[in-house]
């Protein structure tokens, strides 16, 4: 049998495997919450360790924590940040409210490793104690929301911003590439006036630019930290100057312009910034779902659909139909977007579930935002590199639709009126003719007027064809 050590807490004693750095409270949490098998996001662990490191430094600066103990805790934090001890955080993401289990998991690992650094055995909690030293001046109630916001900032910066801006630029590039490709617009999925394929793609790029700016604005709320509020936002058991110093240290360690919240109680009670960031991701996914569905429509076919654009072929699309190629990357993105939308609903419900001085649903917020940002960032990168960058246009097919659309009759309004133009449309549709054919047959315009007024290219810019 593997060797073990005896640990005690306020509920009793139990044997803990000697080789692990976590302790009795973590062991209880693993036993109590065998829910999903999912563990905290690596960047969330990083964020929480940054908080613990900043707290040790601030407590030492204030004279509340012995420098020798603080140095050992800081060294333990640095080891975890370097990638060590990562398999010693087994607490399920669905755990006790507020995240106390994960906070104590961190405190126990840090205390045990700090004691080892100082020459004491794991489980002795001497001279470094999980509660008295690793958690000095802290509470789960102020540290978990702080780590949650910080993790959001870290993951969004690393996973979402770059791929989102790159996809935005990819659509803009395609807009320029396809600017000369004439096609038919469609409204209500029916024929509409001519448009250029480049105009459609440029609009997609502009939409993503606005979504990116909205996300950046929402993230500013995550920079406000309630750290130092301890148990109820009152700052009980924190040394003088700790609050300002710990946030200053945290900003220095992470590179983010973090600031103390104006009201520590508000920062503990309200997790509105999480809802705002999640809502920005939701809105981005709503827009991108619309866009990728447009791409699926535009590429439908190849012989019985619109077939105006060609997507890169990434994999055989059928186990039974030879030669079939599906819009697989776009379908993947739809599923990711739906997952983000579901996660946003969880976050929204969790944000409104706070009571009095604390919102205990923070672990659900953290997991869902971290998961959403990670999968969305990965999906954005794949969407750009394996789909949008490689899209080509079927110019001949696009032009055929542009010259065949019933929307061409719109240019007649200024010359023969809406009612008579509608009759032209009816006759063209009934006789399977083009608008220009009917105009010629009815001798509504001269050939010169047809060339000037019925030029589809001129219809893709503001003005009245033939008069401007």
Residues noted as catalytic: 318
CA–CA gap between residue 356 and residue 234 (Å, rounded): 13
What lies within 8 Å, CB to CB, of 355 at 6+ separation is none
CA–CA gap between residue 174 and residue 41 (Å, rounded): 35
Contact predicate 388/167, CB 8 Å? yes
Going by C-alpha positions, the residue among 278, 274, 20 that lies closest to residue 147 is: 274
CA–CA gap between residue 218 and residue 242 (Å, rounded): 28
Per-residue buried b or exposed e for 403-439, using 16+ beta carbons within 10 Å of the residue's own CB: bbbbbbbbbbeebbeeeebeebbeebeeeebbbbebb
How far, rounded to the nearest angstrom, does the alpha carbon of residue 281 sit from its chain's CA centroid?
5
Phi, psi at 173, each rounded to 5°: -65, -45
Per-residue buried b or exposed e for 325-338, using 16+ beta carbons within 10 Å of the residue's own CB: bbbbbbebbbebbe
CA–CA gap between residue 107 and residue 99 (Å, rounded): 12
Residue 304 burial (CB count, 10 A): 7
Count of CA atoms in the C-beta half-sphere (13 A) of 92: 14
Going by C-alpha positions, the residue among 335, 334, 333, 337 that lies closest to residue 385 is: 333
Contact predicate 369/343, CB 8 Å? yes
Q: Are strands 12-17 and 4-9 parallel, antiparallel or unpaired?
A: antiparallel
Going by C-alpha positions, the residue among 155, 140, 365 that lies closest to residue 275 is: 365
CA–CA gap between residue 357 and residue 269 (Å, rounded): 5
**Angle at 191 (CA atoms; ends 317, 169), nearest 5 degrees:** 60
Give rounded-to-5 percent helix, strand, coil for the chain. Answer: 60, 10, 30
The tokens 């080892």 sit on which residue? 116
Supply 216's token pair.
Answer: 């950046």
């Amino acid at each position: 049998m593997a060797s073990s050590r005896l640990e005690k807490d306020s509920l009793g004693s139990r044997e803990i495997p000697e080789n692990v750095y976590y302790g009795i409270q973590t062991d209880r949490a693993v036993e109590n919450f065998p829910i999903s098998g999912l563990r905290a996001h690596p960047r969330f662990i990083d964020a929480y360790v940054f908080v613990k490191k900043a707290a040790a430094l601030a407590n030492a600066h204030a004279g509340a924590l012995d420098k020798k103990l603080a140095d050992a805790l800081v060294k333990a934090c640095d080891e975890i940040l370097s990638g060590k001890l990562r398999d010693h955080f087994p607490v399920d993401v669905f755990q006790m409210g507020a995240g106390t289990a994960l906070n104590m998991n961190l405190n126990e690992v840090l205390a045990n490793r700090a004691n080892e650094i100082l020459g004491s055995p794991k489980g002795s909690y001497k001279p470094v104690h999980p509660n008295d030293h690793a958690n000095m001046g802290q509470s789960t109630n102020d540290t978990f929301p702080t780590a949650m916001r910080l993790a959001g900032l870290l993951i969004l910066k690393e996973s979402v911003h770059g791929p989102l801006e790159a996809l935005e630029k990819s659509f803009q590039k395609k807009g320029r590439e396809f600017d000369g490709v004439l096609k038919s617009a469609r409204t209500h999925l029916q024929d509409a006036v001519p448009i250029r394929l480049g105009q459609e793609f440029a609009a997609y790029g502009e939409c993503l630019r606005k979504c990116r700016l909205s996300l950046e604005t929402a993230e500013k709320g995550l920079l406000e930290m309630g750290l130092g509020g301890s148990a109820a936002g009152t700052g009980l058991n924190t040394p003088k100057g700790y609050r300002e110093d710990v946030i200053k240290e945290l900003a220095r360690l992470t590179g983010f312009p973090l600031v103390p919240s104006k009201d520590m109680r508000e920062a503990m009670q309200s997790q509105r910034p999480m809802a705002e960031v999640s809502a920005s991701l939701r809105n981005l996914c709503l827009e991108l779902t619309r866009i990728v569905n447009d791409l699926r429509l535009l590429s439908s076919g190849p012989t019985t659909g619109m077939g105006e654009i060609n997507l890169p072929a990434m994999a055989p699309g059928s186990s039974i139909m030879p030669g079939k190629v599906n819009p697989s990357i776009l379908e993947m993105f739809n599923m990711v977007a739906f997952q983000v939308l579901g996660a946003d609903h969880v976050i929204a419900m969790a944000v409104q579930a706070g009571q009095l001085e604390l919102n205990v649903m923070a672990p659900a917020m953290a997991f869902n935002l971290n998961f959403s940002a990670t999968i969305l960032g990965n999906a954005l990168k794949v969407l750009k590199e394996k789909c949008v960058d490689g899209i080509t246009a079927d110019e001949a097919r696009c032009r055929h639709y542009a010259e065949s659309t019933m929307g061409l009759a719109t240019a007649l309004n200024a010359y023969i009126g809406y009612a008579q133009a509608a009759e032209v449309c009816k006759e063209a549709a009934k006789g399977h003719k083009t608008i220009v054919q009917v105009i010629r047959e009815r001798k509504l315009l001269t050939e010169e007027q047809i060339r000037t007024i019925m030029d589809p290219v001129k219809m893709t810019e503001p003005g009245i064809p033939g008069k401007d």
